[in-house]
Amino acid sequence: MGIRLSVNIKDLRIGQKAKILGFALCAGEYRHRLLSMGLTPGTVIELIRIAPLGDPVQILVRGIMLSLRKAEASILKLEQVLA
């Protein structure tokens, strides 16, 4: 795919893509919730929108739009994918 850089959701710009590597330490219940939304390791996400005040963020994952709070989205360990 190209060069990959380790990033956090706050480092992405609108339209940029990243691959999920895993999760930072968090409550097991919340990790399970993220997994049930399709946010599994190896999945590529795309940042679609950032709310005017910076929270929440909207991402595209597996063809579905999801809105997450920045604090929640920062749990994702990401690797930026440069085309």
* 42, 55 contact by CB (below 8 A): no
More confident residue, 16 or 3: 16
78 class by beta-carbon count within 10 Å (0-12 exposed, 13-18 middle, 19+ buried) = buried
- CA dist 20 and 1 (Å) reads 15
Please say if the pLDDT value at position 24 is more than 70: yes
pLDDT at 48: 93
Please say if the pLDDT value at position 2 is more than 60: no
Please say if the pLDDT value at position 3 is more than 80: no
Q: Where are the domains of the chain?
A: 4-81
Q: CATH number of 4-81: 3.30.360.10, 3.30.230.10, 1.20.140.10, 2.30.30.90?
A: 2.30.30.90
| Residue range 25-76, pLDDT digits in tens | 766 677 778 777 888 888 999 999 998 887 899 999 989 999 988 888 888 8
Sheet containing strand 17-23, strands side by side: 4-7, 76-81, 17-23, 44-50, 57-61, 64-68
